[in-house]
Structure 1
Amino acid sequence: MFVSISFSSFGQTQKPAAAKIPGIEQKIKDRGLVNIQEADPTILVQLKYSTTDNFMHKDVYGDLESAYLQPEMAKRLAKANAALKQLHPDYRLLIYDAARPNSIQYHLWDALDDLKIPSKNKTMYVADPKIGSNHNFGCAVDLTIADKNGKALDMGTKFDFFGPLAYPRSEDGMLKAGKLTLDQLENRWLLRKVMTGAGFKANATEWWHFDGMSKKEAKAKYGMIP
């Protein structure tokens, strides 16, 4: 049984009043990762876990507000953004998440228990921190496409929607059932086209998630961000 959860409170990004947790950005920099916007300043960034606009409704990234990836991943992302602009000059990639320390992975994993996600389904939405996510190696990115005003295109669900409506593997059935429109799917297809063309691999259960290499390769080449 799949659990479908949407978050109607998602909307304008709000920074919490609480003091920032120090040190996360420096931890990532110390591992040699690069700021995505240094590779391409036209890429937009809005880290959802550095706001309250996420499934936990809290900021878990502290001082981290810029998006980082391994250098080769950042170059691929810039390539994808260039391809997107060539197809649609007014469009830009909008980053929701990139490199993530493994210590933060535990917060996301534990938060699924609060949402009553069955244990057998947890890895469909958050990687087990004991194994690690490709985000923890700086080799995965969550993103969408934004228009000339910086507004995200309609992809049929919000970021972090838990359920089949967000699954690329379920899109044909959702279209036939009238739960997704052709315009929404064309936006997803465009995102996948530019990302896979730049060397990323799409995820079967999250339209926004793309991996730059396998977890095994990432672990061997880069190691985990603690």
Structure 2
Amino acid sequence: MKPYRQIPIQECGEPLVAIPLELFAIETPHPYLKCGADYNGSSPYYLRQGVLDRVIQAQARLQQLHPDWRLQIFDAYRPVEVQQYMVDYTFRQTVAQRKLDLARLSDVHTAQIWQDVYQIWAIPSFDLLTPPPHSTGAAIDLTLIDERGNLVNMGSPIDEMSDRSQPGYFANSDDPVEQEYHHNRQLLDRVMTAAGLIRHPHEWWHFSIGDQLWAWLNNQSDPQHPIPAYYGRIVL
């Protein structure tokens, strides 16, 4: 079990609300819809009201530093069913990319691939005590768009299963191009944390507030004053 899943949740009851997409950049169609995920006719672009307010603040901060830049929202609220679909999809894609035969995989090799998948993906738990972060409406995956409408290069795509997903992967590089990747990642982190969200320790694109991961990270920083999560699983 990932350690943050042991954090208690004291649900605050804040509503899940639609993200005003005219304020942000988005990828169309939604990345997981392109993979075949079924949102049961609903939009994937929802967040808790308090989280949305902070993301809007983060974009305002970004535009103070870089006028006409915007946040591009990759993913926000994710039903557990979609979490399960994407976990299974990623497993199948990983097997195919590694040119393996699923029918011939040993139990050990299968377990290793699942371990790799769960380095990026949260366990699709329906247990109300251990919801995936995105299923709470408290987490968001996003990146930056420049004034020309182009993606700012972060050095790796969102959801990549490699060490390059680590936020500080390029921090000590002597390559000026890779230093620019690190600068861009730090800019995203700076505007998001200024709005009160915390970055996932292993994913440069993932930020949250109020969920179990956020509470666990806070408690690691201040173990004398532990706090619970206040966003639990929510069903649209």
Question: What's the TM-score, normalizing by structure 2?
Answer: 0.70
| Conserved? CA contact 1:201–1:213, under 8 Å | no
Residue-pair matches, total: 187
C-alpha RMSD over aligned residues = 2.6
Q: Which residue of 1 aligns with 2:123?
A: 128
| Corresponding residue for residue 6 of structure 1 | none
1:65 CA drift (Å): 4.1
Structure 2 CA distance for partners of 1:71 and 1:45, relative to 1, 3 Å: same
Q: Is contact 1:102-1:225 (8 Å) kept?
A: no
CA distance in 2, matches of 1:119, 1:143: 25
**Identity rate, percent:** 30
Structure with more relative contact order (C-alpha pairs < 8 Å, separation 6 or more): 2
Residue equivalent to 1:33: 16
Q: CA deviation at 1:220?
A: 5.7
Task: Report SS of the residue matched to 2:67.
Answer: coil
Within 5 Å, give how 1:156-175 maps onto structure 2.
156-173=155-172, 175=173
Matches of 1:169 and 1:215, distance apart in 2: 23
Q: Under a length normalisation based on structure 1, what TM-score does the superposition of the two structures give? A: 0.73
Matches within 5 A, 1:80-159: 80-114=58-92, 115-116=94-95, 118-130=113-125, 131-159=130-158
Gap regions ≥5 residues in structure 2 = 1-13, 96-111, 217-227
Task: Confirm or deny: 8 A CA contact 1:171 1:180 kept in the other structure.
Answer: no
Higher Cα Rg: structure 1 or 2? 2
SS at match of 2:171: helix
Pairwise CA distance, 1:146:
0.6
Provide, for residues 62-114 of structure 1, a one-character-per-residue CA deviation record: whole Å limited to 9, x for no partner: 63445110000000000000000111112000100001111111112222331
What is the distance in 2 between the residues matched to 1:171 and 1:183? 9
Among 76, 79, 89, the alignment partner of 2:57 is 79
1:35-74 superposed Cα distances (whole Å, 9 cap, x missing partner) = 2217xx4222223213x2xxxx434436344511000000
Aligned residue for 2:158, secondary structure, equals coil
Letter in structure 2 aligned against 1:221: Y
Structure 1 residue runs of 5 or longer lacking an equivalent are 1-30
| Kept in 2: contact 1:97–1:141 (CA 8 A) | yes
Secondary structure of the structure 2 residue equivalent to 1:141: strand
Moved more, 58-67 or 187-196: 58-67
The alpha carbon displacement at 1:134 in A equals: 1.1
**How much has 1:179 moved relative to structure 2?**
10
Specify whether residues 210 and 188 from structure 1 end up closer, same or farther in structure 2 by C-alpha distance, changes over 3 A only.
same
CA 1:172–1:106 in 2, change beyond 3 Å: closer, same or farther?
same
Alpha-carbon distance, 1:209 to partner = 0.7
